[in-house]
Chain A
Amino acid sequence: MQAIDKLKAIPFVQKYRYGIILLSAMSFLGPLAFLPQLTGNSDLCGQLCMRRFYLYFPGMTFADLWTHISVAYIGVIAFMLIMLTTFFFGRIWCSFLCPVGGLAELGSRMLNDRWKIEFRSLPQVQIRYGYFGIYLVLMPMLGISACTLCNFITIPRLIEALSGEYRGVVYVLSSVGLVNLGLLFILGFFASKGRAYCQFLCPIGAADGLMNRFGARFGFTHHIRVAKERCTGCNVCARACMCGAIKMVDKVATVEQLSCMSCHDCVDVCDWNAIEWTTASRNKEPKRIKKGVEIFPEPTWASLNIMPTPMPQRNGIVGKVHVGRLVNGLIVSFVIAFVATTSAIHYFSL
């Protein structure tokens, strides 16, 4: 009975979202897997892979890039579609459709909180893009396969193993499979809200986050936006946010667009309609001024980005250093410097 009550208590949009995730899991993963099977695949690898084609191998040419794209063209098209929808509507692939992150999330939500680890307060932007940078440029050079930590293999194989196919069992029992299974449990089922893998390791999520933040800069796109004059600072959205994207800054909820998945969890719990998946206000001019007070038809709907907290001021020296921004800068400059150096070495050694 308690379970049914709990199910009933799920907000409407979230019921809808869980339903879609289940449907997508059934259509993307084995033993049904009828969407991949339309292309002759039984899982999400091969021509469907969205995670390999943008890897940088030192000394690669555009012809190599084209080879990578053309062999995985279905995955490339899917990736582009995801990016396009993210620009206009936020990361709806990640939150509503992705069967891999979705299954981990549903599994985690069915568990009692006392088993879970809270990852959301970690500096996820730095961890995610640090790993993404290494994944993009360093791992290919060292010969570590992009598939090593890929949960787009793990979850389909796990489902296969549960449905009795030997290939799935073999994968789950192999060393790589065991590591991935561990990641799935620690960063999936036993993580608070179950999205820690998406926050930290998923390369599609990382690319998607960049696009989300870019899209949120435009007023006409739908993203999670905050009307800060309505926000009472009550925290419920930050507690509900499965990505840890909402942070209370001066008692106003701010949404980090690099991490936000537009899952509507925060929208459903806000009693004040202060957070919404919407465009920016279209009417920026006051429509009426009555007794000196400007009256606006719409609230602000600003998309806010968290800036990393500055270091605590010690003797007035490091007061203005933002550690997180410093790390971000280091990551970007490392990737650029790495690509530049290796290209130069390759070019001059030929």
Chain B
Amino acid sequence: MDAMKHRLFYRPVNALIRGIFMLLLLNGAVLANERQSDPDGCLVCHALEGLQFIDKKGVLRIATIDKTDYFSSLHGSVPCTDCHQMKTYPHEVKEGLVDCSSECHVNEPSKGEKFSHKAVAKEFQKSTHGNGRIKDFAGGNRLEEDSEPDPSCRRCHSNTPYIIPSQMDKFKTEMKHADAECGKCHTGEVWMNQFGGHIMRRLVGSRWNKTDINKSCNQCHGDHERMAKVKIEDPATRQANNAPLVAGQGISDSKPQKDKRTMPATYRWVHSTESYERTLHGRFLVVGEQKSASCLDCHIHRGEGFNGHGILKDEDKQASTHPDNLGKTCGADGCHNYAKSSLTSGFAKTDVHDINQVKLPDIKAMIDPSKLGNVWHWSSIVLMLFVAGFGLASIYWLIVEYPKTKKTASNIIGDERFEEVMLGRKSKKAPPKAPPAPAAKAPPVTAAVATDEASKAEAHKPVATVEEAKTENTPKAVVDEKPVVKSPVDSTPPKEGEDG
């Protein structure tokens, strides 16, 4: 009876409450009043439009916070001072910097501990982008960050809307689903507050699909001029051997500099996004085929204590792109499973950043004589020899050989063999035209055409002789169907004409 009452009364009420909650959540303007009360009053000033100032370097900075954007963002329920620990006024720049690795306000629902990005921060620091850590993950300011080599957290994770517009429809259906299915048992507000967001996030799915992931990598790596300026740090372990991991990677691969600390980026590295776009992986993602591999699918170290930020250098033995680990990386679940097999070890050697597919570098750099010895020069020498030999032979042929040739058109090579093999002509000195057919073979009359008796009597006789002739020769053809014209007079068994 209680259950009945529950169904009849509480559920509609619950649904109504949740519906209102959902409406509030979906409407940014309403949200702006709801998510937090701005306890420190930051928005008193920062919500004003046109709040700008000129800093000590003389750069105009905009300090306005768009309320709607902020409150509908992922951190919209977090008061400003939880992250920006401002104590003084006028604000010190240092106080404004955010350390994403610090503990924060949210309780991780399953363990009830304070949530922290510390694990991610650790991993990020180990990665090839790890120098972003010196900025305390704040990235200083957008204006400066555009010219700095190492990305901070915010370079990829700006404070994005909690639900991005393209996922709004999905969010609505999942919200209904969560209400209907989870709400059957979990009726209280407590559960919904603690786990609701957690579960919704997983139902709605990742904010970025693989195409979006590649876009964020392309923000920096797609800018080839900027990448060309990057000095790649030479890992201490590789100081003794400065050569690039795979020799002959690119046309403008320059020799490693004498300074062992850094080396200039290779042409192959600079144009890595471009060469990726040429591969099937890149091409599938452009048309939205999500089964393909994004940048992160191959370049992230997967293992204990790694959360998807461990992009390591190829030379690093832990790196997913280290030659020893490629089989495992390519053979990840749902990708090329067979790459794990030792029999298919060749598969992992496929060049997925084939520099040959990329726009040619500066033509001057290519034929620069000071770099004599690169691939381009050697191949052009070979080609030139070939072309010269071909040209000389052609001239010789034109002057000496051509006048001797017969002027009738026939193939350069293979004609005689064709005549012999396909047409069955034995004698090479046979006249080019077919010998006049003997009278016995000439009439192509079939019984279908022959109507009057006289012509028919002539008709079946020569055919019969053909049959006879065939039985004498070694038969070479398999005949699928029986010959139609039989000669009852001759009574030659046609079966002998079949394959013997």
Taking Cβ atoms with an 8 Å cutoff, the residues of A that contact B are: 39-41, 45-47, 57-61, 63-64, 67, 70-71, 112-121, 140-145, 166-167, 170-171, 173-176, 192, 217, 219, 227-235, 238-239, 244, 246-252, 254, 272, 274, 280-281, 284, 286, 290-307, 309-310, 342, 345-346, 349
Given A40-B286, A233-B441, A235-B434, residue A141 in contact with residue B475 (CB < 8 A): no
13 A–B contacts from the bound complex (CB under 8 Å): A47-B287, A57-B341, A57-B347, A58-B344, A59-B337, A120-B414, A121-B414, A143-B346, A249-B477, A252-B477, A284-B481, A300-B484, A303-B480
The residue that B447 contacts in the complex, of A176, A272, A294, A349, with Cβ under 8 A, is A294
With A and B bound together, what is the CA distance between A114 and B421 in angstroms? 20
Q: How many residues of B contact A (CB 8 A)?
A: 81
Given A47-B289, A60-B337, A304-B480, residue A121 in contact with residue B421 (CB < 8 A): yes
CB–CB B357/A174 < 8 A: yes
The 9 A-B pairs of least Cβ separation, nearest first, read: A143-B346, A118-B414, A59-B341, A58-B343, A60-B338, A57-B338, A113-B409, A174-B356, A40-B287
CB–CB A175/B356 < 8 A: yes
Contacts of A254 in B (CB 8 A): 477
Smallest distance from the beta carbon of A88 to chain B beta carbons, Å? Answer: 18
With A and B bound together, what is the CA distance between A41 and B286 in angstroms? 9
With A and B bound together, what is the CA distance between A2 and B102 in angstroms? 86
Smallest distance from the beta carbon of A125 to chain B beta carbons, Å? Answer: 13
CB–CB B342/A349 < 8 A: yes
CB–CB A141/B280 < 8 A: no
CB–CB B411/A192 < 8 A: yes
With A and B bound together, what is the CA distance between A266 and B434 in angstroms? 17
CB–CB A121/B448 < 8 A: no
CB–CB B346/A116 < 8 A: no
CB–CB A67/B334 < 8 A: yes
CB–CB A346/B341 < 8 A: yes
CB–CB B479/A304 < 8 A: yes
CB–CB B291/A67 < 8 A: yes
CB–CB B477/A114 < 8 A: no
Contacts of B499 in A (CB 8 A): 307
Q: Is B54 an interface residue (CB 8 A)?
A: no
Q: Is B453 an interface residue (CB 8 A)?
A: yes
Taking Cβ atoms with an 8 Å cutoff, the residues of B that contact A are: 278, 280, 283-284, 286-287, 289, 291-292, 334-350, 356-360, 379, 409-415, 417-418, 420-424, 434, 437, 441-442, 444, 446-448, 450, 453, 456-457, 460, 463, 466, 469-470, 473-489, 499
With A and B bound together, what is the CA distance between A140 and B447 in angstroms? 56
The residue that B336 contacts in the complex, of A64, A295, A306, with Cβ under 8 A, is A64
Contacts of A302 in B (CB 8 A): 479-481
CB–CB A295/B347 < 8 A: no
CB–CB A232/B343 < 8 A: no
CB–CB A113/B485 < 8 A: no
CB–CB A292/B344 < 8 A: no
Closest to B489 in A: A292
Contacts of A294 in B (CB 8 A): 447, 485-486, 488
CB–CB A229/B412 < 8 A: no
CB–CB A248/B424 < 8 A: yes
Contacts of A233 in B (CB 8 A): 437, 441
CB–CB B356/A118 < 8 A: no
Smallest distance from the beta carbon of A304 to chain B beta carbons, Å? Answer: 5
Contacts of B414 in A (CB 8 A): 117-121, 192
With A and B bound together, what is the CA distance between A302 and B497 in angstroms? 14
The residue that A297 contacts in the complex, of B334, B409, B412, B448, with Cβ under 8 A, is B448
Smallest distance from the beta carbon of A316 to chain B beta carbons, Å? Answer: 14
Closest to B450 in A: A295
With A and B bound together, what is the CA distance between A36 and B419 in angstroms? 42
CB–CB A145/B489 < 8 A: no
Contacts of A67 in B (CB 8 A): 291, 334-336
Smallest distance from the beta carbon of A5 to chain B beta carbons, Å? Answer: 16
CB–CB B283/A46 < 8 A: yes
CB–CB B344/A140 < 8 A: yes
Closest to B419 in A: A121
With A and B bound together, what is the CA distance between A249 and B499 in angstroms? 13
Smallest distance from the beta carbon of B287 to chain A beta carbons, Å? Answer: 4
CB–CB A71/B347 < 8 A: no
The residue that B478 contacts in the complex, of A115, A145, A304, A309, with Cβ under 8 A, is A304
With A and B bound together, what is the CA distance between A230 and B485 in angstroms? 11
CB–CB B379/A175 < 8 A: yes
CB–CB A170/B360 < 8 A: yes
CB–CB A141/B337 < 8 A: no
Given A143-B349, A296-B447, A299-B448, residue A71 in contact with residue B441 (CB < 8 A): no
CB–CB A290/B485 < 8 A: no
Contacts of B292 in A (CB 8 A): 71
Smallest distance from the beta carbon of B205 to chain A beta carbons, Å? Answer: 20
Given A40-B286, A296-B485, residue A309 in contact with residue B334 (CB < 8 A): no
With A and B bound together, what is the CA distance between A113 and B418 in angstroms? 14
Contacts of A293 in B (CB 8 A): 447, 456-457, 460, 487-488
Given A248-B422, A345-B343, residue A114 in contact with residue B409 (CB < 8 A): yes
Smallest distance from the beta carbon of B281 to chain A beta carbons, Å? Answer: 10
Contacts of A115 in B (CB 8 A): 412
Contacts of A140 in B (CB 8 A): 344, 347
CB–CB A59/B338 < 8 A: yes
Contacts of A166 in B (CB 8 A): 359-360
CB–CB A298/B448 < 8 A: yes
Smallest distance from the beta carbon of A158 to chain B beta carbons, Å? Answer: 15
Contacts of B484 in A (CB 8 A): 229, 281, 284, 296, 298-300
With A and B bound together, what is the CA distance between A237 and B68 in angstroms? 79
CB–CB B422/A246 < 8 A: yes
Contacts of B286 in A (CB 8 A): 40
Known: A117-B412, A141-B347, A291-B457. 8 other contacts (CB 8 A): A61-B337, A114-B410, A118-B418, A173-B360, A249-B424, A251-B424, A296-B447, A299-B484
CB–CB B287/A46 < 8 A: yes
Closest to A112 in B: B409
With A and B bound together, what is the CA distance between A294 and B489 in angstroms? 11
CB–CB B418/A121 < 8 A: yes
CB–CB A121/B424 < 8 A: no
Closest to A177 in B: B356
Kindly name the residue among B414, B442, B460, B473 whose own CB sees the greatest number of chain A CB atoms within 10 A.
B414
With A and B bound together, what is the CA distance between A112 and B338 in angstroms? 49
Given A58-B341, A229-B483, residue A118 in contact with residue B413 (CB < 8 A): yes
The residue that A143 contacts in the complex, of B350, B423, B480, with Cβ under 8 A, is B350
CB–CB B350/A145 < 8 A: yes
With A and B bound together, what is the CA distance between A314 and B356 in angstroms? 54
CB–CB B417/A250 < 8 A: no
Closest to B452 in A: A290
Smallest distance from the beta carbon of B97 to chain A beta carbons, Å? Answer: 44
The residue that A232 contacts in the complex, of B441, B473, B480, B487, with Cβ under 8 A, is B441
Contacts of A176 in B (CB 8 A): 356
With A and B bound together, what is the CA distance between A75 and B280 in angstroms? 14
Contacts of A244 in B (CB 8 A): 422
Given A57-B344, A304-B479, residue A238 in contact with residue B488 (CB < 8 A): no
Given A63-B337, A70-B291, A229-B484, residue A247 in contact with residue B422 (CB < 8 A): yes
The residue that B456 contacts in the complex, of A167, A192, A290, A349, with Cβ under 8 A, is A290
With A and B bound together, what is the CA distance between A140 and B347 in angstroms? 7
With A and B bound together, what is the CA distance between A142 and B269 in angstroms? 26
Given A251-B424, A292-B488, residue A217 in contact with residue B480 (CB < 8 A): yes
The residue that B473 contacts in the complex, of A228, A250, A304, with Cβ under 8 A, is A250
